[in-house]
A and B are shown apart, each in its own frame.
Chain A
Amino acid sequence: MATVLPPPSKRQKTAAAAKAREPVTAPTPPPEASVRVQFRDSDTNASQGPVVSVSLADLRPNNLSLLLNSLLGRTDPSERLPYRFLNPLGDGEFSQEKVIQAYLDGVATTELQLDIPCRAEAVFKVKAVTRCSASISGHGEAILATAFSLATSSRLATGSGDKTARIWDCETGTPVHTLKGHTGWVLAVAWSPDDGILATGSMDNTVRLWDPVKGTPLGGALKGHTKWITSISWEPYHLREPGRPRLASASKDYTIRVWDAVSQHTDMALTGHKGNVSCVKWGGAGLIYSASHDRTVKIWDSKSGTLVQTLNAHAHWVNHLALSTDFVLRTGFYDYKGKSTVPETTEGKRKKAKERYDAATAGAGGIERLVTASDDCTMYLWEPSRSTKPLQRMVGHQKQVNHVTFSPDGALIASAGFDNHIKLWSASDGKFLSTLRGHVAPVYQCAFSPDCRLLVSASKDTTLKAWDVRTGTLKENLPGHEDEVFAVDWAPDGERVGSGGQDKAVKIWRN
């Protein structure tokens, strides 16, 4: 005899009865109407393709993406670009329900044309890092700076408190070269945009140049500063005179020095700041931007070394600054495909670097934007070539803002503050978008993935966290460091994330 199931309990019976009483309604079908759609670029507001008539039932993002691609003549599947559509009737993402609801409510009518803002996204997709693929010990002291090589994510350079910089092979998780020579902590590392020279700045007031392939020093120390080096920036590839790469170094001694990397002499010394120069960036239009603890941001001409502008707005130290073109200037002629698409001749390389720079600034009308982060808990967005007045004051952080970065496509700004939060801002107008909460201690640095869809942040609370930028949610929590994390970098090809901190181990993260 088979086991008889127990009779349903009273609760189950009442629930079933209630369900049976409920009238079954089919989901309301979308109205039959069709609407005339015009796609517009969300940055420039330029129309994309002709006006087309689409029925409301078909207004789904993937359909729209296909339609827009075919309107722009990209019929071959391999040529299609992924598009992101924004809500035409308000803020946020495009959604079919919202649009249909607007028509049902009478907010919109089918007699007017619907302008859908769209933005082309990166054709490649970076996967979120999820695991630590290598934890490499070797440094004898805390790691203070990291930077990935531009050509390949298999080379990572780190600067440490043990007075050396090291180059690591991330494929195998082994050290390649130890760059000895400094007599103080190595505070800054930077790869030149053609990947041929590594520059390190140190507590011992000097900058040194290294051959990253052989691991040998290129000449001696670049002496001139009288206090330690805080930041290094290379001249963008398309501006460089052939065979004469230059770099700018900012120092605690209130000056910025521009060095000729070949002759190893100071080209210019840019004096004028009245406080520690915290950050220097070499812009793509031949200008050098510097942020200082004297509350000003100064802009210098890289040819003559004269002061072009002084931007006064901050009320306290300026800690960091970022350019909308940072990513393309850093990577120069290397795109996401790495070494395979590098032009052979110098002229070709320059041309490609220039093209990439022009493409990056096209959205903002051909000019660079600048964002500065300060101890007064605010940030300012500037368009220095248009005006000395800030475009927008960005408030919201509760404590000092330590780090700020533009997304590689120049559409977003992420700021990391000592109030444990990261905030995302729209780069076109400086509007606040979202707050990424999750860290329990000050966030020191953050880095965008090259496709702009992800962000990784390093914090004092010993973790890294990977965030989904579009939704503003935590994608991956990456514990593993045993002490605070000082430096993080996402490789330009998107494969790996490298981090280092107080616990002396370099960690390589990947998906």
Chain B
Amino acid sequence: MPQNEYIERFTKQHGKRLDHEERTRKKLAREAHNASSKSQNLRGLRAKLYQQKRHKEKIQMKKAIKQQEEKNVKGAEDTGPSTTPKPAYLLDRGKETNAKALSSAIKNKRAEKAAKFSVPLPKVRGISEEEMFKVVKTGKKTAKKSWKRMITKPTFVGPDFTRRPVKYERFIRPMGLRYKKANVTHPELGVTVQLPIISVKKNPQNPMYTQLGVLTKGTIIEVNVSELGLVTAGGKVVWGRWAQVTNNPEHDGCLNAVLLV
């Protein structure tokens, strides 16, 4: 269990307060009143900051509403000039989802059997250990021997990772630099989907970085594609598929990757 999830752990063990639902409902119901009174009554810097915050919230809200409306649009499109042949029973059933397009494209690519071992980024810049690790010098003994390292690059840490006791912990992977999701692009279709990372398969810099889950440009990661609904030739749902990191996550603050097909 990650160490910051103590509240979730507590609720799992003991459950919630008996009046939890009631309290959340009331809190939610009061929210509008609170917001209104604050925006009317705050003065000076506080009012400014509050309006800023409110402005951002409203933008998000409008985006969400717009998305929802797009989702709700009934598919009244004319299927006549569709390019892919479909049987009569599927003709009036709206258009293909992105996932399906992904699936067929991957299969077509497989059939070609071309470029099996090539990856989109064949070469990467070497990263030295000095750049990768910062020596931790806190405490008397640690400073004296300086055996403790902090990783300065983004990492992927699996959900079941528990920190070792501080005394024995040689590598520290900072919480702020951990990633759980990657924006994965399909190279041919240009569709980008945010997918959860399953594991780091290969860091080309150093096998040790692979073990530590360091994410640098050119790293091969495994992403969870189950929500795309891809299936294998044997009719099982494909779960994990490999992708290569295409950006410098330590510079950009996000993780972009391209699917290996």
Contacts and interface: CB of A to CB of B under 8 A. Distances in A.
B107 interface: yes
Interface in A142-163: 142, 144-145, 160-162
Contacts of B232: 462
| Interchain residue pairs A-B with the least CB separation, the first 4 | A161-B85, A463-B235, A479-B234, A230-B88
B233 A479 contact: yes
B87 A483 contact: no
Contact of B104 (A187, A477, A487, A502): A502
B84 interface: yes
Contact of A144 (B85, B229, B233): B85
A142 B84 contact: yes
A356 B249 CA distance: 73
B84 A479 contact: no
Most chain A C-beta atoms within 10 Å of own C-beta, residue among B84, B91, B104: B91
A440 B236 CA distance: 7
Interface in B42-92: 84-92
A231 interface: yes
A192 interface: no
Contacts of B229: 441
Interface in B7-28: none
B175 interface: no
B11 to A, nearest CB: 31
A233 to B, nearest CB: 13
A161 to B, nearest CB: 2
Looking at A145, A319, A440, the one whose CB has the most chain B CB atoms below 10 A away is A440
Contact of B87 (A187, A293, A439): A187
B87 A444 contact: yes
B59 to A, nearest CB: 36
B233 A188 contact: no
B231 A461 contact: yes
Interface string A470-503: 0000000101111100110000000000000011
B134 to A, nearest CB: 47
Contacts of A482: 107, 111, 233
A463 B237 CA distance: 12
Contact of B88 (A188, A441, A461, A481): A188
Given A142-B84, A444-B87, A502-B104, A276 B231 contact: no
Interface residues of A, number: 41
Q: Mostly helix, strand, loop or mixed at chain A's interface?
A: loop
A502 B90 CA distance: 13
A487 B85 CA distance: 13
Contacts of A481: 233
Interface string B83-112: 011111111100000000001100100010
Contacts of A238: none
**Category for how many chain B residues contact A:** 20 to 34
Interface in A265-308: 276, 278, 293
Interface string B205-230: 00000000000000000000000010
Contacts of A502: 84, 104
Contacts of A463: 234-235
A141 B233 CA distance: 19
A449 interface: no
A440 B231 contact: yes
A487 B236 contact: no
B85 A142 contact: yes
Interface string B195-212: 000000000000000000
Contacts of A421: none
A166 interface: no
Given A187-B88, A230-B88, 6 more contacts: A187-B91, A231-B88, A462-B234, A479-B233, A481-B233, A483-B104
A223 B135 CA distance: 83
Contacts of A441: 229, 231
A459 interface: yes
Nearest to A400: B93
B235 A459 contact: yes
B84 A161 contact: yes
A69 interface: no
Contacts of A228: 88, 91
A211 B233 CA distance: 36
Interface string A423-453: 0000000000000000111001000000000
Contacts of B237: 440, 461
Which of B85, B103, B229, B232 has the largest count of A CB atoms less than 10 A from its CB? Answer: B85
A482 B104 CA distance: 9
Contacts of A369: none
A394 B174 CA distance: 57
Given A479-B235, A482-B233, A319 B89 contact: yes
B87 A480 contact: no
A276 B92 contact: yes
A375 to B, nearest CB: 9
A504 to B, nearest CB: 10
A441 B231 CA distance: 9
A459 to B, nearest CB: 7
A144 B88 contact: yes
